[in-house]
Structure 1
Amino acid sequence: MDKRYIYAGIFIGMLLVMALITVILLFTLLWNNKSVNGSKLVIDHDGGADDAMAIFIALIHEEYFDGPQVVALTTTFGNVYEPQAFINTQRILNIAQRRNIRIYRGSQTPFIDGIETDYYYGLDGLGDSCEAEYEPILPQPDHAVHALLDLSIKHEGNLIIVAIGAMTNIALAVKMDPLFISRLSKLYVGAGFVEGPDHQDAEFNAAMDPEAYYIVTKNANPNKVMVVPFSQVYSSMNLTRKWRESTLGVIPTKMMEVQNCFERVSMSGNYTGWTQLDPAVMALALNDSLVEEIKYSNNSIILCGDKRSINTNEFTSVSEANVALLYSGNREHYQELLMNTFTAELDQT
């Protein structure tokens, strides 16, 4: 046989083997990483039961709904002090069986002064002694602020940040690099009130570090930053406690079992409604069909005097605004999302 045919056959065989290896590598990468160029998600949180639910929602959406890949959790203070938030982050990831997610420890104190935690979710933030045992996860060596900056560069245009605690880490990132927000796909700020008859005081997350909130909104623009105020979640996405306990709460999964325990302190009060800011912010970040009405605002916060930490809003056009503000959400769609999320595991069996 002509040697040219032999060499040609060997060459074609090598090409086929290389093509097969390439296909296998790409399949493995896609399987483990969901999508090469897909959205990435960082959750900046303060370690409470509401944060736990928000994190669970994000992880379930990544696994079952092709949601953004959760690339990091960053810790701050609020519901608990940051050292406890770090402990709680480990507990949450152990329960979710996602120990592979990197934890970056963040700010422990506000820029100047804030408020004390109210221990709304218990002394440990997670219902006190619920699933207290966990296998330790070492934090990454970098501070959360450096991680936020590095990830915004690495995933420029694809990185979503959901900030559901004090805004200190986000504000420090802005101060260190004024282009930080411009590189994001979106920043969701779960904080603040739109002043009204039911909300004339300071909102918890905003009041934790008013200067940080001021820095973030001062450097924001409405194409990149959506503020989700607690007042608007309360007025348009509030669910009943009865539904939370007897419908959502009876879903027979490990995550819902521990989530019920995490909320047992907050659920001990005599309330008829169930309003949780952090899961609502995460739901809005993952599914924009929950958005009913957005208003564009020059949004800020008062830093001095007896109205310190009170939010201000000057509603205006998109060209004059600094943030897009969630003014109302769809209660029914939110309820449906929660049910679909926490039953997703059951649907796979």
Structure 2
Amino acid sequence: MGELAVEKRKKIIIDTDPGIDDAMAIFLAFESPEVDVIGLTTIYGNVYTSLATKNALHLRVPKLRIADFVHGSDGLGNTSIIPPKGNAIAQSAAEFLVDKANEYPGEVTVVGLGPLTNIALAIEIDPLFSQKIGQIVILGGAFSMNGNVNPAAEANIFGDPEAADSVFTCGADIIVVGINVTHQVVMTDKDLEDLAHSHGKYAKYISKILKVYFEYHHEAYNICGVYLHDPTAMFAAINPSLMTYAEGVVRVQSEGIFRGLTVFDNMKKRWGEVTEWSNKPSVKVAVTVDADQVVRLLVDRLKNS
């Protein structure tokens, strides 16, 4: 009697700027049987790229805006992490993305947790990248609400709005998870206590580095908890049915007071004029999320690590 067929694990590459909630998302991916992490690429955002690379290795084993006031000076909650034993490969992140898209055409999902520079460069290197990549899941944007850098812009898009516009309009299968959705997903003090008292190796680590993140959210947002930005976006790659989506064209303002603003055209009106919006590929933008389920699954998977 033949063995039961096992569903193929989704190959993912995580483009990241670790980052406390990036660390949670990376650990979540490692503990998710639905996906197989075939690489980590790094970009500036929460920390500079060199430190992001160091942090990514540690976790595995325009003027830049660096959010060390949110994540700590080391990006991981000021925990003075042990230097990693591994080394980054010589190949650039964009070249790595292109190579893997060619090696596994239609099978690789890129999860973009920082500014979209590396993905835009991959498109520039290989104009067929958008056809070869299976899917791009993006944490970014603020749709119908204020941003988190300023009222107009969300941090990842603000970090490289030209790259974001290039990626949004490249024609790939794209899911965008903005802070309008991730602000619905809150890890509470009780969830943190649950992690701290568990025996999971990732749970214990995360509970230690979250102190700075909780302090920031209490001061900036006056909430007793933290927004789960990156883990929520990761769940869009792991189990997209946890969210609902609207489909339409997204463009990004690249300069001025609205630099980094993401604008969504729901395509319900047929415009008469030919403009910079005309004939652009659509993307799927998350609009609702099963927040309780996302938090429960994240905590459970970290506890069982």
TM > 0.5: yes
1:143 corresponds in structure 2 to 92
- Match of 1:187, SS? strand
2:303 corresponds in structure 1 to 343
TM-score by length of 1: 0.75
Unpaired stretches in structure 1, ≥5 consecutive residues: 1-33, 95-111
* Equivalent residue for 1:289, pick from 238, 241, 248: 241
1:227 corresponds in structure 2 to 176
CA–CA distance in structure 1, aligned partners of residues 79 and 296 of structure 2: 30
2:48 corresponds in structure 1 to 81
CA–CA distance in structure 2, aligned partners of residues 77 and 141 of structure 1: 18
Residue 288 of structure 1, CA deviation: 2.2
1:68 has 2:28 as partner = no
Deviations along 1:137-191, whole A, 9 cap, x unmatched? 1211211111100000101111011010110000001111121121122110111
Normalized per residue, the structure richer in helix is: 1
- Match of 1:263, SS? helix
Would the alpha carbon gap of residues 198 and 229 (structure 1) be closer, same or farther in structure 2, given more than 3 Å must change?
Answer: closer
Does the 8 Å CA contact 2:115/2:159 hold for their aligned counterparts? yes
Deviations along 1:233-290, whole A, 9 cap, x unmatched? 21x3x22523332334432222111111222211124222421211111122111231
Please tell me the residue identity of whatever aligns with 1:337. Answer: L
Deviations along 1:9-62, whole A, 9 cap, x unmatched? xxxxxxxxxxxxxxxxxxxxxxxxx99x7421100001211111111011111x
| Count of residues paired in the alignment | 283
Please tell me the residue identity of whatever aligns with 1:125. Answer: G
Please tell me the residue identity of whatever aligns with 2:27. Answer: F
Does the 8 Å CA contact 2:68/2:75 hold for their aligned counterparts? no
Would the alpha carbon gap of residues 205 and 298 (structure 1) be closer, same or farther in structure 2, given more than 3 Å must change?
Answer: same
* Equivalent residue for 1:218, pick from 156, 163, 169: 169
1:90 has 2:37 as partner = no
Does the 8 Å CA contact 2:168/2:250 hold for their aligned counterparts? yes
2:125 corresponds in structure 1 to 176
Deviations along 1:53-81, whole A, 9 cap, x unmatched? 111011111xxx2x222111001100000
2:290 corresponds in structure 1 to 330
* Equivalent residue for 1:275, pick from 223, 227, 236: 227
1:158 has 2:114 as partner = no
Would the alpha carbon gap of residues 289 and 249 (structure 1) be closer, same or farther in structure 2, given more than 3 Å must change?
Answer: farther
2:137 corresponds in structure 1 to 188
Would the alpha carbon gap of residues 126 and 116 (structure 1) be closer, same or farther in structure 2, given more than 3 Å must change?
Answer: closer
Would the alpha carbon gap of residues 215 and 201 (structure 1) be closer, same or farther in structure 2, given more than 3 Å must change?
Answer: same
1:299 corresponds in structure 2 to 250
CA–CA distance in structure 1, aligned partners of residues 282 and 24 of structure 2: 29
Deviations along 1:171-212, whole A, 9 cap, x unmatched? 001111121121122110111100336873210111111111
Deviations along 1:66-115, whole A, 9 cap, x unmatched? x2221110011000001101111121112xxxxxxxxxxxxxxxxx4553
Does the 8 Å CA contact 2:203/2:303 hold for their aligned counterparts? no
Does the 8 Å CA contact 2:169/2:281 hold for their aligned counterparts? no
Residue 117 of structure 1, CA deviation: 3.0
1:50 corresponds in structure 2 to 21
1:121 corresponds in structure 2 to 71
Unpaired stretches in structure 2, ≥5 consecutive residues: 1-5, 269-278
Does the 8 Å CA contact 1:42/1:71 hold for their aligned counterparts? yes
Would the alpha carbon gap of residues 133 and 273 (structure 1) be closer, same or farther in structure 2, given more than 3 Å must change?
Answer: closer
CA–CA distance in structure 1, aligned partners of residues 252 and 281 of structure 2: 15
Would the alpha carbon gap of residues 90 and 189 (structure 1) be closer, same or farther in structure 2, given more than 3 Å must change?
Answer: same
CA–CA distance in structure 2, aligned partners of residues 191 and 88 of structure 1: 21
Would the alpha carbon gap of residues 303 and 257 (structure 1) be closer, same or farther in structure 2, given more than 3 Å must change?
Answer: same
TM-score by length of 2: 0.86
CA–CA distance in structure 1, aligned partners of residues 53 and 147 of structure 2: 33
Would the alpha carbon gap of residues 322 and 51 (structure 1) be closer, same or farther in structure 2, given more than 3 Å must change?
Answer: same
